[in-house]
Chains A and B, each alone.
Chain A
Amino acid sequence: MYPDYMMKSIQMVEKTRPKRLELAKKQGKQVFPAMSESERQAVLDNFHPDFKKDARREVRVGVNKGESLTTEVADLLESYSRVDPVIFDLNNPDHETDVLVIGAGSAGMAAAITAGINGSNVLLATKLRLGDSNSMMAQGGIQAADQKDDSPVLHYLDVMGGGHFENKPDLVKALVNDGPIAIKWLEELGVMFDKNEDGSMMVKPGGGTCRSRMHSTRDYTGAGICRVLRDEVYNMPDKIKYLEFTSIIELILDEKGQAVGAIGYHLETKQYMVIKASSIIIATGGFGRLHVRGFETTNHYGATADGLVIAYRAGANLMFMDSVQYHPTGAVFPEQILGFLCTEKIRSMGAQPVNHDGDLFVYPLEPRDIEAAAFIRECAERGKGVKTPTGKVGIWLDSPLIDLINGEGATQKYLPAMLRQYKRFDIDVIKYPMLVYPTLHYQNGGVEVDDKGETKIPGLYVAGEAVGGIHGRNRLMGNSQLDLIVFGRRSGYWASERAKKGVQFGKLTMQHVYDYEKKVAKLKIPRKKIAPIILPDYIPDHVKIKQKTTEYFGTLF
């Protein structure tokens, strides 16, 4: 429960609630004016963490050398390989396959299934278990323009506007045009979308959308999709072999510069393996566990940007890796759920962000970067945040409005995960608001691909959160879940087609790793700086001193 002093602020929230409820009930009217283009720019420049001093720095090695990237990403890229590649016998691979898929979130599994159906043999290697991923955790929804008053054209405008018109247009076109087909593909696999009585999709708006086009499976949308894909992977043993607890730590190229394999590492048996493949799809997801600028994160345990590191070393180009998505509503109280996501669907269903005094200060559904920056402004500049007992600060998200607007039982029915999360810590969010603050959520940028999902390196494909370009510098809610399926399927298909045509392999080599390491060494970076880091390290310093591992950045196995 909330301590007394916080309850005092809640009383003020309760006082303003009836008025705000009235506003919300006025159909079609915004409860707070949305920002103009110049207002948006001002709040971003002054309050978004990306624009703070030291948030970015020039990367000194690799394809993007000289470009300004998120500091933690630049630090990660300026690193050595986990092992000296000389120890591997590339001529005797432990596995040979048509398509190697790296990472079993929804993008990787959609790719594997598609390649398998297209007739290829697939090897799916993943860090933890199948489905242990950000995909499984998505709550709010998946966008697609399938409503009568909507169209892929409007969806296109929303995606571009959200991304500040910097997105790669051909990727956005693929995303929105394939959207409805992706939904149908999922439904035919058995995803249980929320429906109205007549079978029409129950859709909600999302931050930055001009129509209601957010499809959901309660507030377990990611799980609703990911667990179905996983079940399908289990059902295709003849086509898809999977390796769990296996992290890919490096790519293998051939003399012609094609991507032709990878080095895997089993986390439990500590064995390395050489994998040879005609095509490779990186679907390793995002980077939340880098804790950029010290932020808490919503991401799963293995979200450490491994795919970026190995692709970059192999010569792939990165896009928009100077931008980070902070989700406006991460939990700040109680301490045990610090940084956990409070889905945007809570605002889609009518909950409003209000300050210490119970006043609205922003349109509840601005694009994410704007909304997050507005929360930070309210706390930092205006001092209207609410302090927690451990000194953190937050904004109230007035969840009791949900039942008042949508009818009693709505929270229970459509936000069961949320309700359960808080109930575990004795807070009833139907009665009391939740305290939130921006949390590190999504990697807006990533590896550049074309509309087949292929990178500039022949045979190397990327799908899912590891891709850069689709969302520009700011993704809207629900468009990631959609891109996983659209580009998971596209990359799976084209990777499989490439394998079917037959690849002329040159001699396998890891020269790119040696070359890269030489450049890193020139910068006098200490040898102990290795990547990919595989898993974050949450062991406290006083224990690490005894484990003799204090100097390592990331996991040491």
Chain B
Amino acid sequence: MSEEQKMVKAFIMGEAYDVPEGSTIIMAMEYAGFQMKRGVGCREGFCGACATVYREKGDYKLKGGLACQTVVTDGMTLAQIPFVPAEKPIYDIKELTPDIDTIKTLFPTIFRCVACNTCTKACPQEIKVMDYVQALKRGDIGRAADLSFDCIRCGLCALRCPSEIVQYNAATLAQRLYGRYLNKKSPELEERIVEVENGKYEKELDELVEMPREEQSKRYYAREIKLK
């Protein structure tokens, strides 16, 4: 940041700090002197470690966001959420069926949803959280898996839910059920595995392993490039 950097005031857990304009919440906290351990992971919006709640100057709304993706505005008051207590049922994916009975047994709280849409409004990934919860209620695993796909498990939806639902854990189950049971199987994959297991490529690979570099290089540059 350059010398004539413009500064804004951020209230980190209520205390005022001057931080460079344009900083994300994580950058601002580090600038203020916090050595982060909780509340930070990937720093790029993929891990969900950095859920933060904040209010902006002149706005009564309590907002949620990712600290690595949200830019501090002048007068913002904020607090990070170090951890979200949530129940996670234990299951063996191999023994489940991809249907509503599984949802009923493992996530009975889902059926308490009152369709208030608070979760959807809270989601920093702009996921239609309520819609995937509703899909689960109907046993529509495919739709739930699809709608919830971009969930990074930041926990903000669960924190705001008046019905105490842990949406994202149910989403993970839906995704796994879909991946294992409902996604159509790939015939080529199965065939290739049989070939590999029968040792079809062993000999040729072993030859390559032993082949001098120049010869390998020749084969490499001569190989045909055929892209789909």
Point out residues on A near B: beta carbons under 8 Å: 28, 37, 128-129, 131-132, 136-137, 145-149, 151-154, 156-158, 160-161, 165, 169-170, 172-173, 176-178, 180-181, 183-184, 187-193, 195, 198-201, 203-205, 209-212, 217-218, 220, 222-223, 227-228, 231-232, 234-235, 237, 245, 267-268, 298, 300-302, 335-337, 340-341, 390, 416-417, 420-421, 424, 535, 537-540, 543, 546-547, 555
Given contacts A169-B208, A170-B209, contact A195 B41 (CB under 8 A): no
CA distance A535 to B225 in the complex (A): 43
B106 CB, nearest partner CB in chain A, Å: 11
Residues of A within 8 A of B208 (CB): 153, 156-157, 160, 169, 173
B22 CB, nearest partner CB in chain A, Å: 6
Q: What are 22 sample pairs from A and B whose C-beta atoms fall under 8 A apart?
A: A28-B227, A128-B49, A137-B44, A146-B186, A146-B189, A149-B226, A156-B205, A173-B205, A177-B205, A181-B197, A188-B180, A199-B186, A210-B226, A231-B176, A268-B38, A300-B43, A301-B42, A420-B45, A424-B69, A539-B35, A540-B30, A547-B33
Q: Are A535 and B196 in contact (CB under 8 A)?
A: no
Interface-lining segment among B56-64, B110-118, B158-166, B211-219: B211-219
Point out residues on B near A: beta carbons under 8 Å: 2, 22-24, 27, 30-38, 40-47, 49, 69, 71, 88, 90-94, 125-126, 145, 149-150, 152-153, 172-173, 175-180, 183-190, 192-193, 196-197, 201-202, 204-206, 208-210, 213, 216-217, 219-221, 223-228
A135 CB, nearest partner CB in chain B, Å: 10
| B210 to chain A: closest residue by CB | A169
CA distance A212 to B180 in the complex (A): 24
Top 7 A-B pairs ranked by shortest CB distance?
Answer: A190-B176, A199-B184, A132-B41, A190-B179, A161-B220, A192-B179, A169-B209
Residues of A within 8 A of B228 (CB): 203-205, 211-212
Q: Are A165 and B30 in contact (CB under 8 A)?
A: no
B89 CB, nearest partner CB in chain A, Å: 9
Residues of A within 8 A of B145 (CB): 192
CA distance A227 to B48 in the complex (A): 11
Q: Select one of B37, B152, B202 contacting A268, CB under 8 A.
A: B37
A-B residue pair count with CB separations less than 8 angstroms: 226
Q: Select one of A152, A161, A191, A267 contacting B179, CB under 8 A.
A: A191
| A538 to chain B: closest residue by CB | B30
B109 CB, nearest partner CB in chain A, Å: 18
CA distance A183 to B71 in the complex (A): 39
Q: Are B42 and A300 in contact (CB under 8 A)?
A: yes
Q: Select one of A28, A154, A199, A237 contacting B185, CB under 8 A.
A: A199
Residues of B within 8 A of A190 (CB): 93, 175-180
